[in-house]
Structure 1
Amino acid sequence: MVEIPDSLQCLCTASVTEQAGSYRIEIPREEVEEGELDVGEFYRVGVLTHTTASSPSESLDAAPNTSPDAQQRPPVEEGDVREVTIETLGEQGDGIAKVERGYVIIVDGGQPGETVVVDIQTVRENVAFAEIATDDS
């Protein structure tokens, strides 16, 4: 099992391309726009080999007219109940938590440092909205 450090900023699938005598790994636009990456900054990059089951070419065979990024769905669904840790506050005072692949969950009433159980209310491509679950028992 690989240990993933708390400082992980981005986890995505990409291919290596050659350009002008060097090689390039492209980060999906959403990772910069919605994540914590800044254009022009330097980051350490770890590369994991893919297995046959996660090969981009296999994914393309399954859905020939879509890219691997387009096929990737949010890691949560409406109605899910998840335990999350609030990392920070958003501009409007809501708690911000991140789950798999850096996917953002905005939690109404969440406070930084809290670990809470939430009900996922609304899911969008790059963000979900949740409420802290109440114990009705």
Structure 2
Amino acid sequence: MPSIELPDRLLSLYTAELKERNGSYVIEIPSRELQQGDLQHEETYKIALLPAVTAKNEPDQIQDNPKPPIQKGDVRVVEIVTIGQQGDGIAKVERGYVVIVPETEVGDKVAVEITNVTENFALGEVTSGRSNREQ
């Protein structure tokens, strides 16, 4: 199978079964996808359907819990898109993966070094960049 290029704006990625229900076909979206905040109830989204991969060791296999797209020590340029409950800036990278960046504001474009990586989010420290507060 050829490799699949995923856009940076991908909001969700998971495996689901196509089911028949009342004369239509339905793909159920797990509630965790809405709880993570990228998807909103009653909104419209574009979707892409990819064939399931059956080989256990197939490198292109899409998993329910893919590995984080970044690693500790990586340096990324990100744009802060929102502010979290603790007041830290939040950026998103591939597959909508969250990077929390303290002392930033919405619209800041900064280079960050990833200091901690978990399954659901990473923490980053600003190494350089432009802050809206400085303008």
Same-fold call, TM > 0.5?
Answer: yes
Structure number with greater CO (CA < 8 Å, separation at least 6) is: 2
Q: Any conservation in 1 of the 2:90–2:100 contact (CA below 8 Å)?
A: yes
Aligned residues: percent identity? 40
Distance 1:14 1:26 in 2: 10
1:10-89 alignment, distance < 5 Å: 10-20=11-21, 21-39=23-41, 41-47=42-48, 49=50, 55-58=52-55, 61-62=56-57, 68-70=63-65, 72-89=66-83
Point out where structure 1 has 5 or more consecutive residues left out of the alignment.
none
1:122 counterpart residue number: 116
SS at match of 1:32: helix
Superposition deviation, residue 10 in structure 1:
1.8
Q: CA RMSD in A?
A: 2.8
- Say whether the 8 Å CA contact 1:96–1:107 is kept in structure 2: yes
Check 1:117–1:125 CA distance in 2 against 1; reply closer, same or farther (3 A cut).
same
**Matched position secondary structure for 2:123:** strand
- 2:101 is equivalent to residue 104 of structure 1: no
- Report the Cα distance in structure 2 between the residues aligned to 1:96 and 1:30, rounded to whole angstroms: 19
Q: What letter is aligned with 1:17?
A: L
Output the TM-score relative to the length of structure 1.
0.72
Report the structure, 1 or 2, having the larger helix content. Answer: 1
Q: Which runs of 4+ in 1 moved over 3 A?
A: 13-16
Structure 2 residue runs of 5 or longer lacking an equivalent are 130-135
